[in-house]
Amino acid sequence: MKVLVVGSGGREHALAWKLAASPSVSRLYCAPGNAGIARQAELVDLKADDLPGLLAWCSDNRPDLVVVGPERPLVLGFADRLREAAIPVYGPSAAAARMEGSKAFTDELLSRHGLSHKRFGIFTDPASARAYVRQHGAPIVVKADGDAFGKGVKVAATIEEAEAFIDRCMVEKAFGPNGETVVIEECLVGPEVTIKVFADGSDILPMPPAQDYKRVGDGDRGDNTGGMGCYSPVPILDAAMHAFILANLVEPTIRALAEEGTPYVGTLYCGCILTDRGPEILEYNCRFGDPEAQVILPRLDSDFVDILQAAVEGRIREVTPIWSDNRSVCVVLASGGYPADYEKGKVITGIDEAEAATGAVVFHAGTALRNGDLVTAGGRVLGVTALGPTFAAARGVAYDAVSRIHFGGMYYRRDLAQRAVEAEQASV
């Protein structure tokens, strides 16, 4: 079968890498892909949000399955258009993708169905938003309603910080129309975990949980990023709590969407926080997550295509995937200066040696080929993933591989998965 992956980051490399391992895939394409994905797939020179170009390509080439990585084409209705053309696609409709595309939609849906108890308000004018902040105080969370490329959320420690971010969204128009509405939420406290499921519109198939690192610096210091690393499973989330979250939060969300006429087909990503009063939903995303995909997919020992096809065909209950008991750790290698300004075009060396010597897998995120050299082309450049029987073993392999890779200004956190190692050792 012919499969098209849409996207160009580390998540899409993980998707392509896993799809390429399926015996049922005869031709694998990726639009637009990157230098690493080119090892597994034929690259198509179309951007992920070029819907007319992608639709024309799909019409001409008739792939048997399209797997959409990033949220933007889904929010724009790419999956809807493919279904209209009778092309199988793994990804939600635009209406269902509002779970990520609109924070207001999600908070209202969850509140309407009794799935969230956090306090929130939705505002379309800055004066009312500021008044709400002054009424409830800080810390408080301010979110641009729409897609702000990972920069639309501010956990404000003070009223002044919250008001400044409201102005950034609504007055300065930093996020264009996506920030004209803001959602202000109660600031919840507790450890965060990622719960992801395959969904077919009515049923779900859970993936192993993961925990990522948003802050750029060791010790969870510095600015938020798209993710500096990740590990799976999560020692603080036992099987009983995982099952509770699935049964009481995620499954009812899928049912609520179906009841309201927007069945969800694709990966639903639940960012969950374990508070003193119980688990709460922080956010929903309509994609695999990055770098969560890079630690979860290597633990899948079943045919990835079988799962995706079952979801697309509404028969996810028929699938029983096999997940490895191995621990998985991913270390993101970033360009110096990320998430602020950074330089591109730095020559990358050592990847082949790192993979050959350690057994780690290096997923490309922001890379390109220039005059025969592999060079940096983004803030997050590579994701180095390793498996092992313990977190200590997986972490050791990952950092061993990292030590063999070099490019100018390379930066990475040195404390990834350390808390998982400590938790695992304490339980022995």
Which CATH number goes with the domain that contains 135? 3.30.1490.20
> Which ranges of 21-157 does DSSP label H, i.e. alpha helix?
51-61, 71-75, 78-84, 98-101, 103-112, 126-136
pLDDT number for residue 428: 73
Same domain, 169 and 205: no
Tell me if 282 sits within 8 A of 214, measured CB to CB: no
Q: Is residue 198 part of a domain?
A: yes
Same domain, 175 and 206: no
Nearest one of 110, 156, 153 to 132, comparing CA atoms = 156
Sequence-distant (6+) residues with CB within 8 A of 419 are: none
Same domain, 224 and 175: no
Q: Is residue 329 part of a domain?
A: yes
Q: Is residue 231 part of a domain?
A: yes
Same domain, 170 and 202: no
pLDDT number for residue 81: 98
Q: 373: domain range? A: 192-426
Same domain, 351 and 202: yes
Please report the sign of the dihedral spanned by the C-alpha atoms of residue 116, residue 283, residue 76, residue 63.
negative
Same domain, 275 and 203: yes
Same domain, 56 and 139: no
Please give the model's pTM, rounded to 2 decimal places: 0.95
In 3-state terms, what secondary structure has residue 386? Answer: strand
Q: Is residue 109 part of a domain?
A: no
pLDDT number for residue 151: 76
Strands of 182-186's sheet in order across = 120-123, 182-186, 140-144, 153-156
Q: Burial level of 138, CB count in 10 A (0-12/13-18/19+)?
A: middle
pLDDT number for residue 219: 95
pLDDT number for residue 150: 67
Q: Is residue 120 part of a domain?
A: no
Q: What is the pLDDT along the chain (428 residues), one digit of tens a residue?
A: 999 999 999 999 999 999 999 999 999 999 999 999 999 999 999 999 999 999 999 999 999 999 999 999 999 999 999 999 999 999 999 999 999 999 999 999 999 999 999 999 999 999 999 999 999 999 999 999 998 766 789 999 999 999 999 999 999 999 999 999 999 999 999 999 999 999 999 999 999 999 999 999 999 999 888 899 999 999 999 999 999 999 999 999 999 999 999 999 999 999 999 999 999 999 999 999 999 999 999 999 999 999 999 999 999 999 999 999 999 999 999 999 999 999 999 999 999 999 999 999 999 999 999 999 999 999 999 999 999 999 999 999 999 999 999 999 999 999 999 999 999 998 87
Cα separations (Å) of 52 from 59, 76, 136, 344? Answer: 10, 11, 46, 29
d(CA 340, CA 111): 35
d(CA 72, CA 69): 9
| Domains: count for the chain | 3
Q: Is residue 63 part of a domain?
A: yes
Q: Is residue 196 part of a domain?
A: yes
Same domain, 360 and 292: yes
